[in-house]
Amino acid sequence: MKKFAALSITAIVIIVGFFAVDIISQVPKDLKWAFNQSIDLEKEGKFKEAIAVLDEFYAQNKTNYLLNLRLGYLHFQDTAFTKSISFYEAAVKLSPASVEARLGLRLPYVKNNQWAKVEELYNQILKLDPNNKEANLRLGQMYYYNGLEKFKESFNKAKPLWEKSKVYLEKVLNPYPSDYEANLAYGYTMYALGYNDKARASFNNVLMISKGDTLAIQGLGLIK
- Overall pTM surpassing 0.75 (yes/no): yes
Q: How far apart are alpha carbons 61 and 87 in whole angstroms?
A: 13
DSSP state of 30: S
Which residues, at least 6 apart from 69, have a Cβ–Cβ distance to it below 8 Å?
A: 87, 88, 91, 100, 101, 104
* pLDDT tens string 54-85: 999 999 999 999 999 999 999 999 999 999 99
Domains of the chain: 31-130 (1.25.40.10), 132-224 (1.25.40.10)
* Helices first, then strands: H and E counts in the chain: 12, 0
* pLDDT tens string 143-169: 999 999 999 999 999 999 999 999 999
**pLDDT at residue 27 tops 80:** no
Mean pLDDT of 73-99: 98
